[in-house]
Structure 1
Amino acid sequence: MSTISAASVEPAAAIEGCEQKKPLKPCCACPDTKKVRDACIIEKGEENCTDLIEAHKDCMRALGFKI
């Protein structure tokens, strides 16, 4: 008698296909501009990073987020 469920034998491609259909969350969008922006804010303060903040906002807007 086997205890393997159908879910455990699904191909990885099918699982990845389902994950790709999920909408992009704001926290996961534009990781490159977000990382640079956050590092700048921590090191230099928000007022000294306006160009990086705007670049991140532009990236988010390009992905359809309303910022």
Structure 2
Amino acid sequence: MSIAETNTTTEVAAPKKKMCCACPETKKVRDECIVANGEEKCAALIELHKVCLRKEGFDV
């Protein structure tokens, strides 16, 4: 393998959706939890939503 081959970078595709429209399933559950329990008790759901957004191409 040459030096040129080892220094290649992979480009991340730009998100295909607006952030507000991405991951509606995790967003709904996260928002309901925050309203009912407060943000501090919903950290796991918040993180799951962030993971989903990252998979959609967002940098969060």
Which range, TM-score by smaller chain? 0.7 to 0.9
Kindly provide the amino acid, as one letter, of the partner of residue 57 in structure 1: K
Which residue of structure 1 lines up, in the alignment, with residue 49 of structure 2?
56
Which structure has the bigger radius of gyration? Answer: 1
Q: How many residues end up aligned between the 2 structures?
A: 45
> How much has 1:46 moved relative to structure 2?
0.1
**Higher relative CO (CA 8 A, sep ≥ 6), structure 1 or 2?**
2
Which residue of structure 1 lines up, in the alignment, with residue 37 of structure 2?
44
Q: What is the aligned-residue identity percentage? A: 60
- List gaps (5 residues or longer) in structure 1: 1-22
Runs of 4 or more above 4 Å deviation: none
Task: Map residues 11-22 of structure 1 onto 2, 5 A cutoff.
Answer: none
TM-score norm. by structure 1 comes to 0.66
Which residue of structure 1 lines up, in the alignment, with residue 26 of structure 2?
33
Q: Report the aligned-residue RMSD.
A: 0.5
TM-score norm. by structure 2 comes to 0.73
> How much has 1:50 moved relative to structure 2?
0.2
Q: CA separation in 1, counterparts of 2:24 and 2:17?
A: 12
